[in-house]
Amino acid sequence: MPTDRVTAKDFQLAGCQAALYTPDEEVSAPKLVKTLLPKWMERFDADPVILPHEEGMPREIPRLILRSRTNAWRCEIASARINLSWQRPKVDMATPTISSFYEGAVRLLSEYCHLLECRVGRLAAVLRRYAPSQFPGLYLASHFCKEPWLEKPFNRPENFELHAHKRFLLAERFEVNSWVRNKTGTLSSEKEKRLIVLVEQDLNTLSEHAGERSFSEAEIDDFFSAAVPEFDIILRTYYPEE
């Protein structure tokens, strides 16, 4: 049995994402480069990537991709949605706090919505965290499975995944899907590779409501503000510190 017990306080931030779904929008990449990019160049200081538009192209395919020179920050804009994300490019790189990421994301997303005057039908917040583990596969199996299953077939797994989904009211007002994905992984750096437990959390409003829903600027702010503490509550439920 593994002895390297993992608790919520052992996890470090690997990546954050904020997404708005814009079901009625048809974006123009040249227009966004002209009007939006000058306001965002401090954050996205690498050359933008403009993808050619073809008739019949799925609306989910990005038309414009913005990046930072460090490759930590990224924005993908498609007609159907906009994704803002931060990903840790190096193990020793300074990380934003979860709160500061979503506060900054809300400001940028508000500017985007004002520019396009678009209807927002759905919201999503995604968080990825990791914790070092000597035997992550065996640890996850022993953490989530009853003893008989650890004799066989989960007696010596090198990799292991557990995905769980439920619905609930976030902040007593947003009906959301909550996905928690627990799995093994490898963290690579210039010096070494380390085995890790990787947890991805996804809170998103319901797709079946996107056709009639129109989230206001205040609601968007409230959703992401509520997601931040909820992420920690969920993580502590799966990996209690006591």
Structural domain contains residue 81: no
Half-sphere exposure of 83 (CA within 13 A, CB side): 21
Structural domain contains residue 195: yes
* Residue 155: predicted pLDDT: 64
Residues 6 or more apart in contact with residue 104 via CB below 8 angstroms? 43, 96
* Residue 19: predicted pLDDT: 98
Structural domain contains residue 38: no
- Is-contact 123 223, C-beta < 8 A? yes
Tell which residue, 149, 163, 150, 171, has the closest CA to residue 198: 163
Structural domain contains residue 180: yes
Domain with 133, as residue range(s), is 8-16+123-238
* Residue 189: predicted pLDDT: 72
Per-residue pLDDT of the chain (242 residues; tens, 9 = 90+): 445 789 999 999 999 999 999 999 999 888 899 999 999 999 999 999 998 877 778 899 999 999 999 999 999 999 999 999 999 877 777 789 999 999 999 999 999 999 999 999 999 999 999 999 999 998 998 888 877 666 666 666 778 899 999 999 999 999 999 999 999 999 877 677 889 999 999 999 999 999 999 999 999 999 999 999 999 999 999 999 87
Domain count, the chain: 1
Structural domain contains residue 51: no
* Residue 67: predicted pLDDT: 96
Can you tell me the distance from the alpha carbon of 93 to that of 85, in angstroms, rounded to the nearest whole number? 16
Structural domain contains residue 39: no
- Is-contact 154 75, C-beta < 8 A? no
* Residue 81: predicted pLDDT: 97
- Is-contact 18 224, C-beta < 8 A? yes
Structural domain contains residue 221: yes
* Residue 91: predicted pLDDT: 73
Structural domain contains residue 213: yes
* Residue 150: predicted pLDDT: 64
C-alpha separations of 136 from 2, 32, 205, 225 in Å: 9, 44, 31, 31
139: part of which helix (H) or strand (E)?
helix 136-144
Can you tell me the distance from the alpha carbon of 224 to that of 167, in angstroms, rounded to the nearest whole number? 17
